[in-house]
Structure 1
C-alpha cells in the first residue's frame, strides 16, 4: 500500500468520542453494500476494531488487541451513514480479556437503532503462533487466474453488491454453477480472496473474509438473499501476506434456516480462521 490508507481501514475506522468512555464514532460507507445493507463481515470488523482499541494496553495489563473468539447477533440491517459503537469491558485478564459491544445507527425518528450486538474474547495472536495440528486440509483450487472473478457475476447481482468492487475475489469454477442457473446442490463455494487495493490480511480482515463470499445457499439452488442471524468466528493465527483461500460449506437446512461454515487458509497453507453462521433463506428479490 506504500503508506496509503486502505479502503478497508477507512471503512472500519472508529474514533473515540471525547468525554464518553467506551463510545466510538464511525461511518458505514456506501461501497460496502451487499443487497439492501452493509456487509455483515464489514460490520463485524468495524466493531472488532473498536473492541481492540478499547482493550489496548494499560499500566497493569498488556494489550489484548486481537479477536480470538467473537460472536455477533445481527438485529437490523446496517445502512450507509453515521454509526456509533458502544463498548464495555466485561473482564480484563492477563492472557485474555472479554468485552461486549453494540453498533447503533440513528433511526427515522432520530432514536438509536441497534444493528449488531457482539460478545468477544481478545488476546494476542502473536503469542499463539507456532506449531498447530488439524485434520482439516486446505481447499484444492485452480490458480487464481483460472478462477471466476467476482466482476463476472451476473449484472443483477453486481448492482446490489458494491462490496465486490473492494475485493479481488476469484471463485472456483466448480462452485459457480449458480451464476448460470445450474447450481450443483453440493452446498460448497470456495475461492481466492484478497483486497483489490493490495492491503495485506490481518486478524481484523479475517472477520470480513469469513462473510465476504456469495452465500453458499446460492449453490444449493436458493437464489434469494440470505441474511445472517448469528455469526461466531475463531481466529487461530495471524495470516501471512498474500492470497487467502476461503471454503464455505453447508450441510443442513430446516424450516428455512441453514448453517454456513467457513474456513480461511493463508498463503502458507495455515488454517487462520473458522466461522459458523446461522442464516435465513429468503425468496429472490425483485429485479
Structure 2
C-alpha cells in the first residue's frame, strides 16, 4: 500500500487529527481512492484533496467513508465538529478612539457595528447625549464620545465550545473511551509500565470471547493508545499465541508488531491498527 504524503505544515492541528483518523480508516478498509469514489458521492480527485489536507472534508464525506468502511461515524464526526469550530485568530488592533468634534468613534464603524459583529459595546455616555450626526444650528458643541470597550464575544464563545469539544474528543479517541470498557473505564486507572492486568481466557458471550476488560467490537486502537481496550487486545493476542509483552494497557511497538503478525496470519490488512475486522478475529 503506497505511503501517504506528509500533510501541509500550515494545516491546523484539529484538521490534522481528523485526516489522520480518516486515512487510517481508509487504509484499514483496503479500498483505493477509485473504489471510494465508486462507493460514495465524491470523486477520486475530491478524496485525494480531502485526505491530503488540500481541502476541508465535508461532514457528509466523513459519514459516507465511515459507512463504506462499516464503522460508527460518531467519533469521526466529533473530530470534524472540533475542526470546523476552530475560532479565527482575532486581529490585533488599537483601542477605538473618539474623533474630537464629531461624536463618532474613529476607525470608520457606524452606530450598531458592535451588534452586527457580535461584540458587546459598553460606554459611559449619559442618557440623552447625542452619539452621531452633526449638531444643528444653535445646538451646543457635542462632547467627544468616550472610547468604546469592546468584548469579542464570538471569540470567547467559539473558544469555549472548541475547548469542550476537544476534551470530549480526547475521551472518545483514547482506547477505552466509549468502546465498551464498562465500569472499569470509569475508574481512575493508570496504564503503562509497572502495572499489569489479568486476562479471563474463558469468558464468552454469544460465541465471542471476552477477556474482562472491554466489550468493544469496533473501536479503533493503535500505536500510543492506552486503556482497557488495549488490555483486551493484549489478552486476546496472548490467547491466540501472539506475544504482546506485558499486559499493561499500553499500545507500544511490541503490541503493534504482534497485531501485524496476527493480521497477516488471518489474511487481514497488516497495518497494526485494531478495527472491526481485527476485533472480530481476536474474539473468535
TM range (shorter): under 0.3
Higher gyration radius (CA): 2
Higher strand content, 1 or 2: 1
Taking structure 2 as the reference length, the TM-score comes to: 0.25
